[in-house]
Homo-oligomer: A and B are copies of this chain.
Amino acid sequence: MKKLINDPNNVVAESVEGFGLAHSDLVTVHPDPLFVSRSDAPVRGKVALVSGGGSGHEPLHAGYVGLGMLDSAVPGAMFTSPTPDQIIPATLAVDGGVGVLHIVKNYTGDVLNFETAAEMAAASGVDVRTVLVNDDVAVEDSLYTAGRRGVGGTVFVEKIAGAAAERGDSLDDVTAVAQRVIDNVRSMGVALAACTVPHAGTPSFELTDQEIEIGIGIHGEPGRHRIAMESADGITSRLLEPIVADLSLERGDKVLIMVNGMGGTPASELYIVYRRAVQLLGEQGIEVRRSLVGNYITALEMQGASISILRLDDELLELWDAPVHTAALRWGA
């Protein structure tokens, strides 16, 4: 294993420390228990958004802390849920007096630990709601999940709910818009090559030189099937078609699309996938109104990509376009 790390035990702490140094205008890093908050938190009178999960998916979640998005992010160990001991102070620290929304990717450990933390925070008098992101159409249950996994759609939930909170929506309304995003977003990914978790020291799964895995999870969990390598255009169809079917997208629908790199994929390849996705959607009369192409939710240095599609309505589009200033997404501010 060759990685730019020191001790595998310190990877997350040192990385988050570096993140805090690089973005000290945006965030404060709380080292023990570890969480990252907006430097101006708590924002009085604003609903606060908290998310978190295993590390290794950067820029998710700390890269999305800032104006118009998250108030705090809770990094667990690599590919390991954060603990209630972290989530509770991350919740209390950002409560602006009008409630906190927990945005949780649907993995068993995350769900349990956020649930425990929400109960404890509620006992301290904070009004906490939770939404579960479960946008991955690849599989129903999997290695770490009952039901569908939460993947790239999480970025859309955090951005759009964050904009709703920033404009002053109530906890009920922010929760409702987050849920509306979840109801209208689907994702699917592909792996060409696995990543190596520092602690493990060996690749998280094996693919031969000729194989790819369709429907891969962001921890290398099994997907739908392994197939022989094929063209980018072919792979794009395999990712896109189940999403379009599951969302029941129809001619005239407007969408936001993300073509996301898993961490080890050149940008040039992501744009080739994006090109084909736009062509395929266009052939079906589905209009791409906004897009993201890049590394937004990764699996360390995994080679591969995922596609996420959100069906837009006017309000979701307006909230997407609202100002955001975080380490990984910035416009209008």
Chain A residues at the B interface, C-beta cutoff of 8 Å: 2-6, 11-12, 14-19, 21-22, 55-56, 58-59, 63, 192-193, 195, 209-210, 212, 229, 231-233, 235, 263-276, 278, 291, 293, 295, 298, 300-301, 303, 305, 330-331
Contact = CB atoms under 8 A, between A and B. Distances in A.
Contacts of A19: 271, 293
Contact of A275 (B14, B276, B300): B14
A22 B291 contact: yes
A6 B276 CA distance: 11
B274 A22 contact: yes
Contact of A330 (B193, B210, B300, B331): B331
A193 B264 CA distance: 12
A233 B22 contact: no
B15 A272 contact: yes
Contacts of A14: 232, 271-272, 275
Nearest to A191: B2
Contacts of A305: 4
A22 B266 contact: no
B6 A56 contact: no
Contacts of A303: 2, 264, 301
A320 to B, nearest CB: 14
A208 to B, nearest CB: 10
Contacts of A295: 267, 295
Given A4-B235, A4-B273, A21-B275, A264 B264 contact: yes
A266 B16 contact: no
Contact of A272 (B4, B193, B209, B265): B4
Which of A22, A278, A291: most chain B Cβ within 10 A?
A22
Contacts of A300: 266, 268
Which of A56, A232, A305: most chain B Cβ within 10 A?
A232
Contact of A21 (B4, B210, B274): B274
Which of A18, A22, A58, A265: most chain B Cβ within 10 A?
A18
Contacts of A269: 3-5, 15
16 contacts: A2-B210, A4-B235, A4-B270, A6-B232, A17-B271, A18-B271, A18-B273, A18-B275, A21-B275, A21-B278, A58-B271, A263-B266, A264-B264, A265-B301, A266-B298, A268-B300
